Structures are given as C-alpha cells and as structure tokens.
Structure 1
Amino acid sequence: MADTIEGWLVCEKECAPTYYIPIADWLPGTLVPAKTGNMTSQWMGRARYYHVVVGHAHAARAAWAFPEADGEFAPIRNAVSVYANLMEACFVGREKVLRQSNGYDAGWITPNLTGITQTPAMTESG
C-alpha cells in the first residue's frame, strides 16, 4: 500500500516512534478521507483521518495526517501515518513492526527498539 525511502520519524516523549510516509508514496485509492475523527496535537495541530483500503480490506480511520503542522513538524504536512495494529503488517526496512497490546497506540515498535514504549505488552503483528 505504501513504500518510501523519504519518510519521517517522529519521537514523542516516552512513546515509540511514529513513521510518516509522504502521501505521494501511497498507492492511488489506498487513502480515503474520513468524514469523522478529531484529534489535536499540541505540537502538530489538528489531524485529518483516512480510511485505508487495499483490495477488499478496509480499515476505518486507520491513518492520519497533520496538514497544518508547522515549525519543526512542517515536513510532515504532506505525510500520513497508520496505526500499525490495524494493518496486516508494517515494516521498517526489513524489521516487522510488533503489535502493541492496547490496539490504538500510534508508535511503531520494532524488535531492535529498546527503552521507549508506551505499553509494556507486545505481540507480533500478522
């Protein structure tokens, strides 16, 4: 659904990193704007949500962007992240992202990441 070498990594205090992939690197038709959803970040502004559609699979409000991000977050204005838990699988390079126990944590935890997690229990995705 997406593949990039130009993504952005955002690290927030005590959270796993969140990866943002440029909108141009998503397959056409994969991101469908959601009419609902409201999240505001004190650093990045108001989020815009997307449904992720791949073939017959549909993940509601599984992706988001911060189109009005400014300052040090301005580079992610045209990028989207997903809840890895709602995807069949996500990878950072060849490292498979681990599923977090709470289901809706935005951070992407890979086996090589240590010391920064928002939730202690993890199981492998997919």
Structure 2
Amino acid sequence: MRRPTPITPAPGQESVWDYPRPPRVEQVPERVTIRLGGEVIVDTGGAVRVLETSHPPVYYLPIADFVPGALADSPGSSFCEFKGAARYFDVRGGVAVREGAAWNYPHPSPGFETLADMVAVYAGPMDECTVGGEVVVPQPGGFYGGWVTSSVVGPFKGVPGSQGW
C-alpha cells in the first residue's frame, strides 16, 4: 500500500509522519491523568511518550504513580521489534475492570530502558485520559495504543486500509 499524504501541521502541531522509525522516547512536560470507574487511577508529571512514524504518541506512565490495586497482572504477551517483549495488565478503578488494557516492557531492548518501570494504557476502555488537561481520543483501530490530542495530525495508522503503511 502506498504511503498516505500527510496532513500539514498548523503552528504548534506535529505530524506523525515526521516521527522517527525506529521510535524515539521523550519526556512529557504536561500532567497526564486517567480516570476509570469514576476514580482517578493515575495523575502524574512523570510520563514519557514514544513517537513512531504514522502513530500518535503512546504515553507511558510510572507504574509507581498508579493508585494501589489499579494494575493487576493479565494473561497474554506480545513482542515489539523495537521495545522487546511486553506483558499485560488488567486496569481497575472503582468497580470497573478493563482486562488487558495496559502493558509494559519489564526488560526493554537497548535504547528503551526508561520504559522498564512504565506502563501504557489503551485510552478507549478508560472513562477518560488527559494530557495537559485535554481529553485524548484513542488511536483508530483498537490494536495500537496511541493517544490523539489536538497537537498531532495524521493520518494515523489504524484506520481501515492502513495495515501496509
């Protein structure tokens, strides 16, 4: 499949087509929150984001910043050619449980060591995820875990027909 035509970013925006491959990890200056089951399960100033060509950023939050009991081991695993082997977590907040809705790389590949004690969460199953107070939109398609904010433009991998990008 042919690469799509990137949307031209406005001032203050980034194009996901300018993100690198292999991905880059960078600090997030804004506060990041997640709400589930009517409760804030994490509110952190220690997030990082992973930037990869065609994907909205994936936000990784310190495991230690989640409220106790918010993350529980879940079956399943996957492998990323860049970051290594991932494990999954069920996410709990209030009476809500979202099975397999978070993941991390406990022993990441070289260059991604900072992710060892961080966890990424799919935005779609949560009540609300925010970056700097802005409510995020989940990356299309349900497979990838990117968070779309007004500061990024696509088109984004995950839309129908994007598997070959």
Contact 1:33–1:51 (Cα < 8 Å) also in 2? yes
- Residue identity opposite 1:5 in structure 2: G
Q: Which runs of 4+ in 1 moved over 3 A?
A: none
Equivalent position SS for 1:90: strand
| Cα distance between partner residues in 2 of 1:44 and 1:61 | 18
Contact 1:51–1:60 (Cα < 8 Å) also in 2? yes
| Cα distance between partner residues in 2 of 1:46 and 1:21 | 18
Per the alignment, residue 47 of structure 1 pairs with 86
Query: Is the alpha carbon distance of 1:105 and 1:70 closer, same or farther for their aligned partners in structure 2, counting shifts above 3 Å?
Result: closer
Please give the TM-score of this superposition, normalised by the length of structure 1.
0.88
Question: In the alignment, which of 130, 136, 153 is matched to residue 114 of structure 1?
Answer: 153
**Residues 41-62 of structure 1: per-residue CA shift (max 9 Å, x gap):** 1111110100001111000000
Q: CA deviation at 1:28?
A: 0.5
Question: In the alignment, which of 27, 50, 53 is matched to residue 67 of structure 2?
Answer: 27
Contact 2:138–2:145 (Cα < 8 Å) also in 1? no
Q: Is the counterpart of residue 57 in structure 1 residue 96 in structure 2? A: yes
CA RMSD between the two structures: 1.6
Give the % identical residues.
Answer: 36
Q: Which of the two has greater strand per residue?
A: 2
Contact 2:77–2:87 (Cα < 8 Å) also in 1? yes
Contact 2:138–2:146 (Cα < 8 Å) also in 1? no
The unaligned stretches of length 5 or more in structure 1 are 122-126
| Cα distance between partner residues in 1 of 2:94 and 2:136 | 22
Equivalent position SS for 2:42: coil
Q: CA deviation at 1:116?
A: 5.4
| Cα distance between partner residues in 1 of 2:135 and 2:124 | 12
Of stretches 56-65 and 6-15 in structure 1, the one that deviates more from structure 2 is 6-15
Please give the TM-score of this superposition, normalised by the length of structure 2.
0.68
Q: CA deviation at 1:118?
A: 1.5
Q: Which of the two has greater helix per residue?
A: 1
Q: Which has the higher contact order (CA 8 A, sep 6+)?
A: 2
- Residue identity opposite 2:111 in structure 1: E
Query: Is the alpha carbon distance of 1:85 and 1:104 closer, same or farther for their aligned partners in structure 2, counting shifts above 3 Å?
Result: farther
**Residues 55-89 of structure 1: per-residue CA shift (max 9 Å, x gap):** 11000000000011132210010000001011111
- Aligned residue-pair number: 120
Q: CA deviation at 1:101?
A: 3.9
